[in-house]
Amino acid sequence: MRPARALIDLQALRHNYQLARETTGAKALAVIKADAYGHGAVRCAQALEAEADGFAVACIEEALELREAGIRAPVLLLEGFFEASELPLIVEHDFWCVVHSLWQLDAIEQTPVAQPLNIWLKLDSGMHRVGLHPADYQAAYQRLLASGKVAKIVLMSHFARADELDCARSEEQVAVFEAARKGLSAQISLRNSPAVLGWPNISSDWVRPGILLYGATPFDQPQALAGRLKPVMTLESKVICVRELPAGEPIGYGGGFVTDRAMRIGVVAMGYADGYPRHAPTGTPVYIDGQPSRLLGRVSMDMLCVDLTDVPQAGLGSQVELWGKNVLASEVATHAGTIPYQIFCNLRRVPRLYSEA
Ligand SMILES: *Cc1c(COP(=O)(O)O)cnc(C)c1O
């Protein structure tokens, strides 16, 4: 069988979750939207369920997948409902629900619900994506209370630039949030991964770590706490063909890389159809039988080429780590002009193998 696979280390996942909780002293919703950033939402939820305070997903489809797999823990819908017709299912499965827009508030007022809802009322504190306008926030809170359909309200907002450690914007957003919630006594939730790791002075009863759970840093520079994360996914495959080429020979589509000396090239069963980024250029790091090496030429759909010239012990059948504990997904992302979030979410076709150790 094709040797490409993604190994998922569930012990590392738990380590990273605990790091988020211990460093903040807060309750933590493990964000497992988008199939746990490509890691498999059900398996990740099962691995975390004994210790997690709850989970967060993007939509009810993702939440139902968890319930169908037997996950009983709280599950927050980060964008709430997209249509009022979801409300009965939200009640039936006891999902927690973000309200980010006035139309959602109208829908709650107009729809009979069998049980009171658990609402996370989202403020737009400056990101200008979703969230209520500060001027509407207090009134929205009062309308929720007055609806008689709400058991609990958590006040939340989301940061646009918490990954920029020298940027004042997160603190400005906190100031907007504090002003908007003045006088309301409810729990709050502000911090995503970069804020958990990089903004210790921002308080948050509930934190919402996503990317850090998977062991990747949200920062583009070294950061102490991020250095304690353990990578969860190892994407690996094998060398399926070796070529010895003289200087001056082009490799792969477009001939974009030309051998500059006599070289040994390894062809690896991994391509952009597996989610390896097509934009990763020559020089992107790989690990071959425990030795550092590099990508050569253009990534194709099912294969890519690596440099074996200085890894003489490597050959046919050698193990290649595309990312994992030796080559960080964030490094691959930087080379490819993207972020580890997208690197993980793009994973497809390769089987995922889970381990507890
Ligand atoms: C995705 C998401 C998170 C998690 O973000 P990370 O940067 O991966 O930690 C937290 N909160 C909200 C509202 C989100 O949409």
> How do residues 173-200 score in pLDDT, each as one tens digit?
999 999 999 999 999 999 999 999 999 9
Residue type present at position 18: Q
Q: Which of 16, 208, 217, 232 to mutate to test the pocket of ligand 1 (most atoms within 8 A of CB)?
A: 208
Q: Give the distance (Å) from ligand 1 centre to CA of residue 87.
A: 23
Domains recognised in the chain with CATH numbers = 10-217 (3.20.20.10), 233-355 (2.40.37.10)
User: Closest Cα to atom 4, ligand 1: which residue?
Assistant: 210
pLDDT tens digits, residue range 52-96?
999 999 999 999 999 999 999 999 999 999 999 999 999 999 999
Q: Give the distance (Å) from ligand 1 centre to CA of residue 159.
A: 9
Name the band, by pLDDT with cuts 50, 70 and 90, for residue 129.
Answer: very high
Q: Give the distance (Å) from ligand 1 centre to CA of residue 41.
A: 15
User: Closest Cα to atom 8, ligand 1: which residue?
Assistant: 210
CB-based burial, 165-203: b 16+ in 10 Å, e otherwise: eeeeebeebbebbeebbeeeeeebbbbbbbbbbbbeebe
Within 13 Å and on the Cβ side, how many CA atoms surround 346? Answer: 18
Q: Which residues are marked as active site?
A: 33, 253
pLDDT, mean over the chain:
98
CA distance 324 to 166: 28
Name the band, by pLDDT with cuts 50, 70 and 90, for residue 357.
Answer: low
Residue 141 has pLDDT above 90, yes or no: yes
Q: Is the CB of 43 under 6 A from ligand 1?
A: no
Q: Is the CB of 231 under 6 A from ligand 1?
A: no
Name the band, by pLDDT with cuts 50, 70 and 90, for residue 138.
Answer: very high
pLDDT tens digits, residue range 217-265?
999 999 999 999 999 999 999 999 999 999 999 999 999 899 999 999 9
Q: What does the block give as tokens for 183? A: 């006088």
For residues 321 and 256, which has the higher predicted lDDT (pLDDT)?
A: 321
Q: Is the CB of 31 under 6 A from ligand 1?
A: yes
